[in-house]
Chains A and B, each alone.
Chain A
Amino acid sequence: MKEINPRIDRSRKVIEIRGLKKAFDDFEVLKGVDLDLYQGENLVVLGRSGTGKSVLIKIISGLLKPDEGYVNVLGEEVDRLTPKELDALRLKIGFSFQNSALYDSMTVKENLEFPLIRHAKDLTQKDRDRIISVVLEAVGLSQAMNQMPSELSGGQRKRIGIARTLILKPEIMLYDEPTAGLDPITSIEINRLINEVQRRFNTSSIIITHDLTCAKAVGDRVVMLLDGQFQRQGTFDEVFDTNDERVKAFYNYNFID
């Protein structure tokens, strides 16, 4: 179980969502979601596959447009931003993809350099190399600098994916299924890394997962997405202290799996 996080500032909301709705053709995925993320908090969004968890963070990062609702990130209403303003906001958001989304044709170093070259143009090559070394060291993969993504294991790819998002020092981290497809030991290492990132870089994070071990290890607060709405929220134990059969079933099946 995660210790109480003293860095959470409940007076500052970094993400505020009200009445968020999103449908694909006739299927309504999100049916009026409300959510707050506070400065320094690790918020876990739990739910079964296909319940719209990833859709939620794609809307937050502006990859998808909401049908209805209000999404405010760091004081900016995402849906109303011009492309230029959206890009400026995206520099403050780190997005770690489920399959890492490393650029296949580039080495690890080139992957990490890619955002730096475009968004930190005043840096010299020496500065870039130093920053790359720092983030690689932070994710414990200093030796992988010149490797191609295809040469890395699943866990290493996840770490490099996280390193790439950290390189521009984001204020918010969005993790999409960070432990999906990993063995239990690597999953524990990734959970530790998420907590370490939060401590070291003082980020606020939303972690999308259906892995209860991950939720317990990294979540300061847990919300549960069921039938397109958040049904439960609180600490991990509070969320599962319920008679709601759907929540109990999710808990039981997770551990049987």
Chain B
Amino acid sequence: MDLSNKNTESTRSRRRYVVSKRLDRIFLELGDVYAFIARFFKELWFPPYELKEIINQCYEIGVRSLPLISLTGFIIGIVFTNQSRPSLADFGAAALLPALISVAIIRAIGPLVTALIAAGRVASGIGAELGSMRVTEQIDAMEVSATNPYKFLVVSRVLASTLMIPALTMYTTLVSLLGGYLNIRQNEQTSLTTFFYQVFEAITFLDLAASSVKSVIFGFTIGMVGCYKGYNSSKGTEGVGKAANSSVVTAMFLIFIEELLIMQVINALRSF
């Protein structure tokens, strides 16, 4: 039997089941998730603001992700351009390559690739870190010393992730376009000015706005999933591993669902 104080606020004796043990657990879990997210929006506005921790986390999430993001974004730009060329060339439309990669990268690939990489690096990192803090009673230690662990650990990380993922997305987009440009330059001898002229001509304000909104939502999801899984992990080293693993899986799953839903909304807006 696990006597851990998982989510101390909601530790109760739940001996009678409304429907069945499994169904009750699902609904209770959904209730806990809702309460966890609602608490973020409640605590966000009130001091202490833990600015130092937010800056630390922005550094961890943003700056430390740069090498991986740079390499991945650059390679994706090159590969995507290279793979798209033959199809366009078949229709005699190789000149539209900059426009195609611009639309693809800004609308979908940039935000999605950044979010998936961040889900792997950031969500798992947060899940493992908070899970380990839960297991070793560091979160309880904060609570008994009258420090709000949710504010210090969760609000700071979710906020940092929500701020940094859009910044990383912009960076990935630029690096991917650069990769694409280098590939085009090598094959079509297009100048940088012409390339970027065609890039910006192909996209609209709605594309940029949608990409930004999407990356904010992805950032919030990544931070929130990592924090929820870690903060509520069960006792033992197995719990830490599970928290890290399930942070990545859940974050990736939610990112794809969100991508699908946002795409529908944007298409609906575009048709107006």
Q: Do A and B bind each other?
A: yes
Which interface class (under 10, 10 to 19, 20 to 34, 35 or more) fits A?
A: 35 or more
Cα(A29)–Cα(B144), bound, Å: 22
Q: Which of A113-121, A190-198, A214-222, A224-232 contacts B (4 or more CB under 8 A)?
A: A113-121
| Chain B CB within 8 A of A101 CB | yes
| Chain A CB within 8 A of B143 CB | yes
Say whether A115 contacts B145, CB under 8 Å: yes
Say whether B5 contacts A58, CB under 8 Å: yes
Q: Mark A41-80, 1 if CB is under 8 A from B, else 0.
A: 0000000001000110010011111010000000000000
In the complex, number of A-B residue pairs with CB atoms less than 8 Å apart = 80
Say whether B8 contacts A63, CB under 8 Å: yes
- B residues near A253, Cβ cutoff 8 Å: none
CB distance from B10 to the nearest CB of A (A): 10
Which interface class (under 10, 10 to 19, 20 to 34, 35 or more) fits B?
A: 20 to 34
Partner of A65, one of B12, B140, B143: B12
CB distance from B131 to the nearest CB of A (A): 12
| Chain A CB within 8 A of B81 CB | no
Q: Mark B146-175, 1 if CB is under 8 A from A, else 0.
A: 110000000000000000000000000000
Cα(A25)–Cα(B11), bound, Å: 10
| Chain A CB within 8 A of B13 CB | yes
| Chain A CB within 8 A of B260 CB | no
- List 11 extra interface pairs beyond A27-B1, A62-B144, CB under 8 A: A23-B15, A55-B3, A61-B144, A90-B143, A95-B140, A99-B136, A101-B137, A114-B147, A115-B147, A119-B145, A165-B145
What are 28 of the A-B contact pairs (CB < 8 Å)?
A22-B13, A23-B15, A26-B15, A54-B3, A61-B144, A63-B5, A63-B140, A63-B143, A64-B8, A64-B11, A88-B146, A90-B144, A90-B145, A90-B146, A98-B137, A101-B137, A101-B141, A103-B133, A104-B136, A104-B138, A114-B145, A115-B145, A115-B146, A118-B145, A118-B146, A164-B145, A165-B145, A168-B145
The 4 A-B residue pairs with the shortest CB-CB distance, nearest first, are A101-B141, A87-B146, A101-B137, A95-B144
Q: Which residues of B contact A (CB under 8 A)?
A: 1-3, 5, 8, 11-15, 48, 132-133, 136-138, 140-141, 143-147
